A and B are shown apart, each in its own frame.
Chain A
Amino acid sequence: MQAERQPVDSVVVPLGTIDAATAVASLGLDANKPGWHKRDILDAGLARDLSNPPGPWHQDYVVVVQSLGRLRETLPLFSAEGRAKHLAVVVEQSDPTRPFHTGLAATAAESVTLGTLDWLPGARVIEVASAGWLDVHGVLAAVAAQGRRTLPLGGLRLGVAGKDTAAWAAADPQARWVSPDVDMDMVEPVDSMDVMAGPAEGPAEGLAAQLAPVDPFNSSPAGFKTFPGRSTASLEAIDGGTWWKLTGQETAGTEPLLLDTRTGGFTEIHIGALRNFWSVQLEGLESLTPMACARALSQLAASGVPLTLGAIPPLAEGLLGTETMAALRENAGPTDSATDREAASIATRRTALRAFLPRYRGGVLRRAAGLADSLDPAISVLLASKRPAMVPHALAQVARQSWTNTETVLILHGVDELGPEGDAAVAAFPGLLTVVHAPQSLTLGGALNLGAGQASGEYLAKMDDDDWYGPRHLEDLFLAREYSDAVLVGSPVEFTYLEGPDITTRRSHAGEQYTRHVAGGTMFISAHDLRAAGGWRNAPRAVDRALLDAVLAAGGTVYRNHGQNYMMHRRSGSGPAHTWQADDSVFLQDTLEQWNGFRPAPQMDLPPREPLQERRSAGYRSWFSAGHHAPA
Chain B
Amino acid sequence: MGGMLVESKHEPGQLAAWLADAGLALRPFMGPRSGRGRLSVVLLGSGNEQEAALTIATLLDSSFQDFRVELPAGMLKQGTEIGRWLAGDDRFSDASVFAKHVAQSETVLVLPAGLLLTKYSIEAIYEALQQPGTSVVRTVVPGRPQALEFWDAQFLRNEGFEQAEAAARRAGAERWIDGAALGLHFVGEPAPKVFFRRGAAERHIVDVNVLPGPPKQGRGGAKGARHYARAILRRLKALGNRAGGTAARG
Cβ of A619 < 8 Å from any Cβ of B? yes
Q: Please state if A585 and B213 are interface contacts (CB–CB under 8 Å).
A: yes
0/1 per residue, A186-207, Cβ < 8 Å to B?
Answer: 0000000000000000000000
Residues of A within 8 A of B175 (CB): 594
Cβ of B59 < 8 Å from any Cβ of A? no
Residues of A within 8 A of B165 (CB): 613, 621-622, 624-625
Residues of B within 8 A of A590 (CB): 210, 212
In this complex, how many residues of chain A approach chain B with their Cβ under 8 Å: the count is 29
Query: For window 176-208 of chain B, which residues contact chain A by CB distance below 8 Å?
Result: 176-181
Q: Please state if A594 and B162 are interface contacts (CB–CB under 8 Å).
A: no
In this complex, how many residues of chain B approach chain A with their Cβ under 8 Å: the count is 43
Q: Please state if A585 and B178 are interface contacts (CB–CB under 8 Å).
A: yes
Q: Number of residue pairs across A and B with beta carbons under 8 Å?
A: 97
Cβ of A589 < 8 Å from any Cβ of B? yes
CA distance A444 to B202 in the complex (A): 54
A589, A594, A622: residue with the most chain B Cβ atoms closer than 10 Å:
A622
0/1 per residue, B94-114, Cβ < 8 Å to A?
Answer: 101111000000000010000
Query: For window 3-35 of chain A, which residues contact chain B by CB distance below 8 Å?
Result: none
Q: Please state if A619 and B166 are interface contacts (CB–CB under 8 Å).
A: no
Stretch at the interface among B6-14, B27-35, B67-75, B235-243: B67-75
Residues of A within 8 A of B212 (CB): 589-590
CA distance A629 to B179 in the complex (A): 24
Kindly provide the distance from the CB of B152 to the nearest chain A CB, expressed in whole angstroms. 13
Cβ of B172 < 8 Å from any Cβ of A? yes
0/1 per residue, A582-616, Cβ < 8 Å to B?
Answer: 01111011110011100000000000000101000
Residues of B within 8 A of A619 (CB): 145-147
Residues of A within 8 A of B142 (CB): 583, 585
Residues of B within 8 A of A632 (CB): 44-45, 72-73
Residues of B within 8 A of A584 (CB): 140
Out of A505, A594, A620, A623, which one reaches B110, CB within 8 Å? A623
Residues of A within 8 A of B71 (CB): 631
Cβ of A501 < 8 Å from any Cβ of B? yes
Q: Please state if A625 and B162 are interface contacts (CB–CB under 8 Å).
A: yes
Cβ of A96 < 8 Å from any Cβ of B? no
Kindly provide the distance from the CB of A335 to the nearest chain B CB, expressed in whole angstroms. 18
Given contacts A595-B172, A624-B162, contact A629 B99 (CB under 8 A): yes
Residues of B within 8 A of A427 (CB): none
Kindly provide the distance from the CB of A71 to the nearest chain B CB, expressed in whole angstroms. 39
CA distance A622 to B209 in the complex (A): 26
Residue of B nearest to A508 (CB): B210
Q: Please state if B210 and A589 are interface contacts (CB–CB under 8 Å).
A: yes
Residue of A nearest to B70 (CB): A631
Given contacts A583-B142, A611-B169, A625-B162, contact A589 B181 (CB under 8 A): yes
Which of B's residues lie within 8 Å of A, judged by CB?
Answer: 42-45, 70-73, 94, 96-99, 110, 136, 138, 140-142, 145-147, 149, 156, 161-162, 164-166, 169-170, 172, 174-181, 210, 212-213
3 nearest A-B residue pairs (beta carbon): A619-B145, A622-B165, A588-B178
Known: A585-B141, A588-B177, A630-B99. 7 other contacts (CB 8 A): A585-B180, A594-B175, A594-B176, A623-B110, A630-B97, A631-B42, A631-B45
- Provide a sorted-by-A list of 16 A–B residue pairs whose CB atoms are within 8 angstroms: A585-B179, A585-B180, A586-B178, A588-B178, A589-B210, A590-B212, A620-B145, A622-B136, A624-B156, A624-B164, A625-B164, A629-B96, A630-B99, A631-B45, A631-B71, A632-B72
Which of A's residues lie within 8 Å of B, judged by CB?
Answer: 501, 503, 505, 583-586, 588-591, 594-596, 611, 613, 619-625, 627-632
